Amino acid sequence: MIKRPIHLSHDFLAEVLDKDSIAVDATMGNGNDTAFLAGLAKAVYAFDVQEQALQKTEERLEQLGLDNVQLILDGHQNIDKYVDEPIRAAIFNLGYLPSADKTIITKPDTTLEAIEKILRRLQLGGRMAIMIYHGHEGGSSEKEAVLNYVKQLPQEAFTAMCYQPLNQINTPPFLVMIEKLKG
Ligand SMILES: C[S@@+](CC[C@H](N)C(=O)[O-])C[C@H]1O[C@@H](n2cnc3c(N)ncnc32)[C@H](O)[C@@H]1O
């Protein structure tokens, strides 16, 4: 069956991850992406602004026996306070956490700040996956902000792609993929 954007996001990152690599989950939520990255990378830095996300993710990692994750209760825009190693792979799942407070959403300014900081720290050949959920209030302006930012990345330094359902009703999420080619 054709891959959903979320599945492609994992495959895209898995291709560059190994046991020497550092990965970032910029939007931890329930820890699905954190657990996925932790299974492949040497170490993962995972961010969320909600205590609930850290608790859920910690439980999940414990169940899986994964102990290579640093759970950080802070906005991803402050990543430079926590990570100074080169990053091999990073993922964002924008929007809100369905099982939690739906007013806590990612926001254009802080999302762009985090994307910019992570792209700067990405290794050559490193990758970023951004899942864009845009059906909620505020989602459309965040979508536009991210697309406008990614579209102006210099093509000699980054390859950027988009994977999007074309015939689904409502506002299905889609995936933006970026690979760093040059420092
Ligand atoms: C769509 S959910 C993430 C889902 C998650 N990847 C999972 O596997 O369950 C978006 C998350 O981003 C978090 N968030 C909102 N603003 C943030 C920020 N500035 N920095 C980090 N996380 C943020 C929300 O609290 C929410 O948990």
Q: Where are the domains of the chain?
A: 5-180
Note the pLDDT of residue 98. 86
Instruction: Work out the percent of the chain whose per-residue pLDDT is above 90.
Output: 96
Query: Which of 49, 109, 110 for a ligand 1 pocket mutation test, highest count of atoms within 8 Å of Cβ?
Result: 49
Q: Name every protein residue with a CB atom under 6 angstroms from any ligand 1 atom.
A: 27, 29-33, 47-50, 53, 75-77, 93, 95-97, 104, 106, 110
Residue 155's region, left for phi above 0, alpha for psi from -120 to 50, else beta, is: alpha
In 3D space, the residue among 77, 86, 92 whose CA is nearest the CA of residue 129 turns out to be: 92
Q: For position 100, what pLDDT does the model report? A: 85
Contact status, residue 179 vs residue 158, Cβ threshold 8 Å: yes
DSSP secondary structure code for residue 40 in this structure: T
Residue of minimum CA distance from atom 3 in ligand 1:
29
Instruction: Fold for 5-180, please state it.
Output: Rossmann fold (3.40.50)
Distance 49 CA to ligand 1 centre (A): 7
Determine contact, residues 115/180, Cβ cutoff 8 Å: no
Write the pLDDT tens digit of every residue in 56-75.
999 999 999 999 999 999 99
